[in-house]
Amino acid sequence: MLNGIIPLFKERGMTSFDCVRKLRGILKMKKIGHSGTLDPNVDGVLPICLGNGTKVVDYLMNSGKIYRGSITLGFSTTTEDLDGEIVEQQALLKPLNDDQINMALNEFVQPELIQIPPIYSAVKVKGKRLYEYAREGLEVERPERKVRIDYFKQTKPSIYDADKQQQTIYFEVGCGKGTYVRTLAVDFGKKFGIPAVMSDLTRIKSGNFDIDKTVTLKEIESASENNDFSNIVYSIDHALINFKHIDLTSKQWKIVKNGGFLSSSVINQNDDYLVLTYENDIKALYYFDSTKNIYKPEKMFNVN
């Protein structure tokens, strides 16, 4: 069975689970998951975890994401993107200038920005997804959530369509997990009292993978036919590169392989987390219990 991470390029028109289902067929294995859902109309980096790689999904998601896209001012939709029905239109008689745009974008850069997720989203309220309430035409209070915005900037000059009286702004945003970029677009418009929509989006980085490192479903299919995954599957260590690594002695490995604890004095460490390796193979991720000065198992990987 394959273990590791594939940086998939998700094409538009597919759900993230469509990709997982397709890969289960190509790779003939069930233990596959993704880290960070992409909407069907969004393309870009979708890290796929295989086998033991499914144990590092959380660490991939915590690494942050980068998106490039566009915001169009002058109308809004039910879904906050171009997939929904138009619910409001307002002619933009005069386009925003760069100073106005840049100042507004910068106001979103916060370690804890409050967002209200779109009604067409997978967030659960009382056991049901928000999009289920939306499809049934039911009103429901959407919970606030805190997200992290590292930066939000223009990537090229905006375009004003004088005929439609709409303006399109091109952006790049670096953000933490759980951020709805659709909502950033809508909230940007609200700063000027103008309806807005996310009109294009590509994820260019996720799980420490840049878009130029991604592979397509066709390339994975070809690798499977040739039984050569050397240039496609990355080690689970890719998700753990920010943690300190410790190579175990034979004596320590005997303790770890059974899920035993390690004294901080024995391994002379006091980091919050340690990646433990033995004979160049990642075996476990341990966390530091400061109350007892010992390391305990957080995740166990290949302990055979």
* Residue positions annotated with a catalytic role: 39
Residue 180: name the closest of 270, 255, 114 by CA: 114
Interatomic CA distance for residues 137 and 97, integer angstroms: 38
Question: Which DSSP state fits 174?
Answer: E
> Contact 48/82 with Cβ under 8 angstroms?
no
Tokens representing residue 81 in the block: 């993107």
**What span, in angstroms and rounded, lies between the C-alpha atoms of 148 and 270?**
28
- Closest Cα partner for 255 from 245, 244, 267? 267
Q: Is the dihedral of CA 191, 197, 203, 207 positive or negative?
A: positive
- Angle at alpha carbon of residue 8, lines to 177 and 176, rounded to 5°: 10
- How far apart, in Å, are the Cα atoms of 300 and each of 37, 253, 282? 25, 12, 9
The interaxial angle of helices 16-27 and 217-226, nearest 10 deg, is 10
**Of the candidates 136, 138, 133, 137, the residue with the CA atom closest to the CA atom of residue 122:** 133
Owner of token pair 């305990």: 296
E strands, the chain, where? 4-10, 32-34, 43-50, 65-73, 75-77, 86-89, 113-115, 124-125, 128-129, 145-147, 149-161, 166-175, 196-206, 209-210, 244-247, 262-263, 273-278, 281-289, 294-300
